[in-house]
């Protein structure tokens, strides 16, 4: 394979990386239904539901003064439990709002500067139950955080552009506040779950610890024709340009997501009847209709409905599913310098081969060169990662930053270390490398111990959430197996990269952003000196190959959905690095060409020899 093929892989890598954040310039793809979707069913598990007039008690944690026609309200403006809340602290706040009513949901709303365990990592809000109920002994509660400053691309979509996935333009929030309007969507989600599955034995599908509920079964649907990255057809306010699909008390407009309709076994979104309007043509407040002819969208196929289930709970007007994900790479901020000046080539470079001609409308970024990873030195200051790439400008700054340059230089160095080598070639294998490979093998064994749940969905087996939960609970101890004692404190910074390397447990999907997290985790180990340059060939041929084995098993067993396909920019729905490392292995090969991938005999024979053919 000629070196120009390796160059093409790197060019495609930059295009794919940029497409995570850059608005799409191509025409919108037309979706075709290749598989007939089946009715959406949620099973009833014979537990109590919240019925009748339900009171919502609210704890405003550092929120401003407000007027809400609900039950008990508590305004905590002093951060009485601090700015970092665990689930135990949330339960303490919930208990403050409890009253003597049976049918109530206590809600905690946290401000934008409050960090909550799992917020922006795996959840935008949550609901559950505790033992503080005055009469029943159990208390239904919910929590939602304000994502404005921490993760608007994840928990305020579609009002903010996602970090990765389809890059459609964000909608204008109906109340002019990205964070608060995003909270409305999350609040609708958790309230629907709290009413229909308050004590983990109501309506849901899958396992109790990772259920698909009335809203999470209908991900990302806000109107007719919704698909990943597109919320569907919604009403546009001609004055403000805001998007909404519901009008509430005092004419407040909201965008409320779809929820499972037990009468039709479909996801039903809010629908404003066009015939009901005021003199100025705006829909009359409080006229939110769900009529028999309301367009509906069928979600993922789930398990058959229990024939012994009680009468369906009343359909709610509002519910939500988790929005499109962020690109999970969370590298610390670094000093930046002005972007390099680049211009399009007016003529293709001289070449004797027509295969190397470059169209004159393509701007080529320089191919990353291998760089030595600068190691940190004591005193160490480890900190939890945070998402700082929020927009295209952030991505450009990252590319030109210290972290961006050395991260790509690290990937290039890994690629260079495997150049013209086979997977089976002998290489230096340190104790650290052997331990990491052993850890990945343990994760593979967990897949056998946690079999997939029987369900009819094409994608997203809910047992993956149980697998990922075990991963999250044991990640710290896994890291301590190879970290020297003086680096044990680094787990606060490296564990989030590691746990985000295997897919998203909420959406049950996986993509190149998760693969990038694994590379970022390896980069952090190199920065700490845990992985050394002599380990690089084994990092690719032993560690990364074992990681690919694990990911293929997770993708096949749990039917992980591709996190985002980018058409011509994507070589694979799930992975990218195998093409970089694999093309490096084949540089200078006498007989292997890029087109050899289409020869089944070659693929079968060399799949255990070269990453390009085996993964």
For 310-321, what is each residue's pLDDT tens digit? 333 333 333 443
pLDDT tens-place string over residues 185-211:
888 888 888 888 888 888 887 777 777
Domain assignment present for 307: no
Domain assignment present for 51: yes
The mean pLDDT value for 509-519 works out to 92
Domain assignment present for 34: no
DSSP assignment of 542-577, as one string?
Answer: IIIHHHHHHHHHHHHHTTPEES---GGG-S-SS-SH
Mean pLDDT computed over every residue of the chain: 73
Residues 266 and 400 in one domain: no
What residues contact residue 450 under an 8 Å CB cut-off, 6+ apart?
463, 466, 467, 470
Q: Identify the CA nearest to 302 among candidates 38, 44, 47.
A: 38
| pLDDT tier at 614, thresholds 50, 70, 90 | confident
**Per-residue pLDDT at 534 exceeds 90:** yes
* Among candidate residues 236, 271, 306, the one where a domain is terminated: 271
* Among candidate residues 234, 256, 271, the one where a domain is terminated: 271
Residues 396 and 267 in one domain: no
Domain assignment present for 341: no
Containing structural domain, residue 490: 392-613
Residues 398 and 545 in one domain: yes
The mean pLDDT value for 290-304 works out to 30
Q: Which residue has the higher pLDDT, 200 or 256?
A: 256
Domain assignment present for 387: no
Q: Which two tokens stand for residue 533?
A: 């340059």
Domain assignment present for 482: yes
pLDDT at position 488 is 96
**Per-residue pLDDT at 606 exceeds 80:** yes
Tell me the three state secondary structure of residue 204: strand
pLDDT at position 329 is 30
pLDDT at position 364 is 45
CA distance 526 to 513: 20
Beta bridge partners of 207: 210
Residues 603 and 463 in one domain: yes
Residues 400 and 258 in one domain: no
* Among candidate residues 271, 303, 323, the one where a domain is terminated: 271
Percent of the chain with pLDDT over 70: 66
Domain assignment present for 478: yes
Domain assignment present for 291: no
Q: Report yes or no: 211 and 198 within 8 Å, Cβ to Cβ.
A: no
Tell me the three state secondary structure of residue 304: coil
Residues 126 and 265 in one domain: yes
For the entire predicted model, the pTM comes to 0.48
Q: Identify the CA nearest to 518 among candidates 339, 329, 345, 325.
A: 329
Among 68-77, 502-511, 525-534, 566-575, the least confident range: 566-575
pLDDT at position 323 is 33
pLDDT tens-place string over residues 112-171:
888 888 788 778 888 888 765 444 456 788 889 999 888 888 888 899 887 656 667 899
pLDDT at position 208 is 75
pLDDT at position 55 is 63
The total number of structural domains in the chain stands at 2
CA distance 127 to 55: 15
pLDDT at position 81 is 87
Residue 429: how many other CB atoms lie within 10 Å: 15
CA distance 211 to 280: 44
What residues contact residue 47 under an 8 Å CB cut-off, 6+ apart?
197, 198, 199, 200, 201, 202
pLDDT tens-place string over residues 371-417:
999 999 999 999 999 888 888 888 888 888 888 889 999 999 999 99
Q: Which two tokens stand for residue 316?
A: 């709610």
CA distance 229 to 232: 9
Q: Which two tokens stand for residue 613?
A: 């053919």
């Amino acid at each position: 394979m000629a070196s120009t093929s390796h160059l093409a892989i790197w060019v495609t890598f930059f295009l794919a990386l940029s497409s995570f954040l850059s608005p799409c310039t191509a025409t919108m793809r037309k979706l075709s239904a290749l598989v007939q979707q089946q009715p959406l069913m949620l099973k009833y598990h014979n537990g109590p539901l919240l019925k009748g007039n339900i009171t919502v008690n609210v704890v405003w944690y550092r929120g401003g003064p407000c007027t809400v026609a609900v039950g008990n309200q508590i305004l905590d403006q002093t951060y009485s439990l601090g700015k970092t809340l665990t689930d135990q602290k949330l339960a303490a706040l919930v208990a403050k709002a409890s009253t003597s009513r049976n049918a109530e949901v206590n809600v905690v709303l946290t401000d934008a500067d409050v960090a909550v365990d799992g917020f922006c990592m795996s959840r935008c809000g949550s609901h559950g139950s505790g033992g503080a109920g005055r009469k029943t002994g159990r208390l239904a509660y919910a929590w939602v955080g304000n994502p404005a400053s921490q993760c608007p691309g994840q928990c305020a979509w579609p009002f903010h552009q996602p970090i990765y996935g389809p890059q459609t333009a964000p909608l204008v929030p109906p109340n002019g506040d990205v964070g608060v309007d995003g909270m409305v969507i999350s609040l609708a989600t958790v309230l629907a779950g709290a009413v229909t599955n308050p004590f983990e034995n109501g309506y849901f599908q899958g396992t109790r610890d990772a259920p698909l509920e009335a809203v999470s079964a209908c991900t990302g649907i806000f109107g007719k024709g919704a698909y990943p990255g597109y919320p569907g057809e919604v009403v546009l306010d001609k004055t403000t340009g805001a998007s909404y699909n519901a009008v509430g008390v005092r004419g407040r407009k909201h965008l409320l997501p779809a929820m499972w309709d037990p009468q039709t076994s479909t996801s039903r979104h809010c629908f404003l009847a066009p015939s009901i309007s005021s003199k100025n043509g705006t829909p009359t407040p409080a006229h939110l209709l769900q009529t028999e002819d309301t367009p509906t969208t069928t979600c993922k196929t789930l398990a058959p409905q229990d024939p012994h289930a009680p009468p369906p709970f009343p359909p709610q007007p509002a519910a939500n599913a988790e929005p499109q994900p962020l690109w999970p790479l969370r590298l610390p901020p670094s000093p930046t310098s002005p972007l390099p000046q680049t211009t399009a080539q007016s003529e293709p470079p001289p070449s004797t081969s027509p295969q190397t001609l470059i169209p004159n409308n393509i701007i080529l970024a320089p191919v990353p060169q291998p760089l030595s990873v600068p190691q940190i030195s004591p005193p160490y200051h480890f900190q939890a990662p945070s998402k700082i790439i929020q927009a295209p400008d952030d991505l450009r700054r990252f590319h030109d930053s210290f972290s961006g340059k050395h991260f790509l230089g690290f990937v290039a160095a890994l690629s260079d270390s495997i150049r013209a080598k086979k997977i089976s070639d002998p290489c230096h294998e340190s104790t650290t490398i052997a331990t990491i490979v052993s850890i990945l093998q343990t994760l593979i064994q967990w897949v056998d111990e946690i079999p997939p749940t029987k369900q009819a969905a094409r994608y997203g087996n809910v047992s993956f959430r149980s697998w990922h939960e075990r991963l999250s609970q044991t990640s710290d101890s896994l890291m301590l197996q190879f970290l020297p004692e003086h680096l044990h404190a680094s787990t606060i910074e490296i564990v989030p990269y590691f746990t985000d390397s295997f897919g998203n447990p909420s959406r049950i999907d996986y993509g190149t952003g998760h693969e990038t997290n694994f590379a970022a985790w390896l980069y952090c180990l190199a920065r700490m000196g845990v992985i050394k340059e002599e380990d690089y060939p084994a990092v690719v041929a032993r560690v990364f190959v074992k990681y690919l084995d694990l990911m293929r098993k997770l993708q096949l067993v749990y039917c992980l959905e591709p996190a985002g396909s980018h058409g011509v920019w994507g070589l694979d729905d799930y992975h990218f690095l195998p093409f970089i490392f694999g093309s490096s292995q084949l540089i200078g090969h006498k007989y292997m060409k890029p087109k050899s991938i289409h020869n089944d005999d070659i693929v079968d024979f060399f799949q255990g020899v070269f990453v390009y053919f085996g993964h």
